[in-house]
Amino acid sequence: MESAPKRLRIKQVFSSDPGDSVEIKGWVANKSSMGNLIFATIRDGTGYVQVSAKKGTTPPDAMAALDSATKESAVAVVGVVRNDARAPDGRELSVREFRVVSAAEVWPITKTAAASATYLYDVRHLSIRSRRTTATMKIRSEVVGATFDYFREKGFTLISAPSFVQAAVEGGSTLFPVEYFGKKVYLSQSAQFYEEAALASLEKVWIYQPAFRAEKSRTAKHLTEFWMIEAEQAFAEQSDNMKLQENLLAFIVKRVVENRPYELRALGRDIAVPPVPFERVTYDEVRDQAAKQGVSFEWGEDIPTDAEKLMSMAHQNPFFITDYPLSARSFYHMTYPDRPGVTRSADLIAPAGFGELATGGQRIASYDVLMERIRSQSLPPEAFGWYLDLRRYGMPEHAGFGMGVERVTRWLCGLKHIRGASLFPRTMTRVSP
């Protein structure tokens, strides 16, 4: 009696022995016929494999079921593993049994339809089955998984924070108001203030959760809902904070390069682990260099997109831009004692035009200094009640940062637009599917 076929996931087919009888379950990614041969590419969550059937050799009922299977139908296949140099990656299954588990109607994403990016995002619930999106999501998952491992190893505690909040962390212009039992509250822009509160007991904290920004600009790097990795350390200065960021990013890239070579290849990406420490360039140096290339901006303004792009294009590896003017930063930033207009902060910038990945800085720890800052920026002190209160009960020097998961994924995957780094992106013009 023949032994029952081994149930494998597709990736395992490539490490099993020729002659093995195996069962796979997945979806029909492609199908073609040539004379008395039928070929199909079956996809599951681990990869793709070719299956083939031949009139006269394949049992007739299996042949008929394969013949009837439409693109994207869910199927179960029993077959014999064969080496075949003509098959992708040199392997295929000779079909013995073929069953349609759930038939697909005519697949709407034709080559012509796929030429429209808008259409692809209109049917994102279907178009996410593509090789590119699959590879991107595996890399994204690796980015997040590496981050969990990194912070655990460094002794950081993972915390959570509310999404309904009352304070603007990053300024009022990008707040999303929400009606909350007759009161106006907002969706959280950043969990930073909650991390600062958690420091006094946990000392080193990090968080991974969605952030919301009412971004009115349509750019290739802004979503209205995105995932942020944030970390905050007590008894730490901005130099410690930058070390933490560069080591984290290098760790993430190493993990992706080691664990996702297949996906990087599918995306045509060749990424090297960046050496640490990353280069540090000051805001003033950026201003000078940009001016030399014809992009001028006033001291005190935030670095304009085209200047950041110039700098990013000129680098092979991620780097920091440090020492931003206070006028270009949020109110909570600490400044240098001898340069009251300059903050101890930095942006982490990806090379090759991808731009900002993270922003971080040292926070004001003193109650009086923070109160003075709030007043001098004409902010309402009552809006920052508990945030100020933290400074009355033992607040040491501390620093932290926020890194956008989709920004990092976009860079690693080389995506034109950040929306590709989100399974179901949210932008100013898209809240569906």
Residues at the interface with ligand 4AD (CB under 6 A):
169-170, 189-190, 192, 213, 215, 222-223, 226, 228, 230, 356-360, 400-404, 406-407, 418
Task: Work out how close the CB of 195 gets to ligand 4AD at its nearest, in angstroms, rounded to a whole number.
Answer: 7
Residue whose CB is less far from Mg ion, 127 or 335 = 335
Q: Within a 10 A sphere around the Cβ of 232, how many other Cβ atoms?
A: 30
Say which residues have a Cβ less than 8 Å from residue 332's Cβ, sequence separation at least 6. Answer: 192, 363, 364, 370, 373, 387
Task: Work out how close the CB of 347 gets to Mg ion at its nearest, in angstroms, rounded to a whole number.
Answer: 6
Residue whose CB is less far from ligand 4AD, 58 or 189 = 189
Beta strand pairing call for 177-180 and 335-336: unpaired
Task: Work out how close the CB of 181 gets to ligand 4AD at its nearest, in angstroms, rounded to a whole number.
Answer: 27
Q: How far is CA 200 from CA 309, 390, 394, 395, 398, in A?
A: 39, 9, 8, 7, 10
Query: Burial level of 376, CB count in 10 A (0-12/13-18/19+)?
Result: exposed
Residue whose CB is less far from Mg ion, 92 or 356 = 356
Residue whose CB is less far from Mg ion, 255 or 407 = 407
DSSP H or E run through 14: none
Query: Which residues lie near Mg ion (CB under 5 A)?
Result: 359
Residue whose CB is less far from Mg ion, 41 or 359 = 359
Residue whose CB is less far from ligand 4AD, 109 or 388 = 388
Q: Which does 225 bind (CB under 5 to 8 A by kind): ligand 4AD, Mg ion, none?
A: none
Tokens representing 375? 């007043």
DSSP H or E run through 244: helix 238-259
Q: Which does 252 bind (CB under 5 to 8 A by kind): Mg ion, ligand 4AD, none?
A: none
DSSP H or E run through 427: none
Residue whose CB is less far from ligand 4AD, 170 or 279 = 170
Q: Which does 402 bind (CB under 5 to 8 A by kind): Mg ion, ligand 4AD, none?
A: ligand 4AD
Task: Work out how close the CB of 188 gets to ligand 4AD at its nearest, in angstroms, rounded to a whole number.
Answer: 10
Task: Work out how close the CB of 32 gets to ligand 4AD at its nearest, in angstroms, rounded to a whole number.
Answer: 40
Residue 340 phi/psi, 5° resolution? Answer: -65, -15
Q: Which does 223 bind (CB under 5 to 8 A by kind): ligand 4AD, Mg ion, none?
A: ligand 4AD
Q: How far is CA 358 from CA 319, 405, 426, in A?
A: 11, 10, 20
Task: Work out how close the CB of 217 gets to Mg ion at its nearest, in angstroms, rounded to a whole number.
Answer: 14
Helix residue ranges per DSSP H, 260-391: 261-266, 283-292, 305-313, 367-376, 385-389
Task: Work out how close the CB of 49 gets to ligand 4AD at its nearest, in angstroms, rounded to a whole number.
Answer: 36
